[in-house]
Amino acid sequence: MKQPKKLRLSVYLDPEIIAALADYAARRDHSRSLVAEAAIASFLSPDAAERQEAATTKRLDQIDRRMSRMERDVAIAVETLAVFIRFWLTSNPPLPEPAQTAAKAQAGKRYDAFVAALGRRLAKGPKLGQEISEDIEETRS
């Protein structure tokens, strides 16, 4: 069966849209005419709004999942800090007055080492959340 002849349509587009159309067509190895026709057909399709809503819903669901993971990670970080502080306060008695100056100098060095170690760990991992997840999986097995 022979396809009906297509009709020609001339349109005026912004140069940025022309460039985006040409780039998209080149990446997909299609003609600009085919890409423009598909875009117009999609725009005029009665279910275009439903597809757009579905795509938006999917993106919102992804954002919601990411936010949930972030909330979980922040909660873990806060609890970790709270446990550390409680442990530190209960296991370190206050120093007598003469030893405090030396302890402050030593604390400064330790803090610098801590910040450097934290920077290395954040740069290459593994992250605490991953370690906790792995530990939980191992205990369940």
Q: What is the dihedral of CA 48, 53, 58, 62, to 10 degrees?
A: 130
What pLDDT does residue 135 have?
67
Q: Where are the domains of the chain?
A: 15-44, 49-93, 101-141
Classify 7 as helix, strand or coil: coil
Q: What is the pLDDT along the chain (141 residues), one digit of tens a residue?
A: 677 788 888 889 999 999 999 999 999 999 999 999 988 887 787 787 788 888 899 999 999 999 999 999 899 889 989 998 888 888 888 888 888 888 888 888 888 888 888 888 888 876 766 777 776 777 776
Contact between residue 36 and residue 21 where contact means Cβ atoms under 8 Å apart:
yes
Put simply, whether the predicted model's pTM sits higher than 0.75 gets the answer no
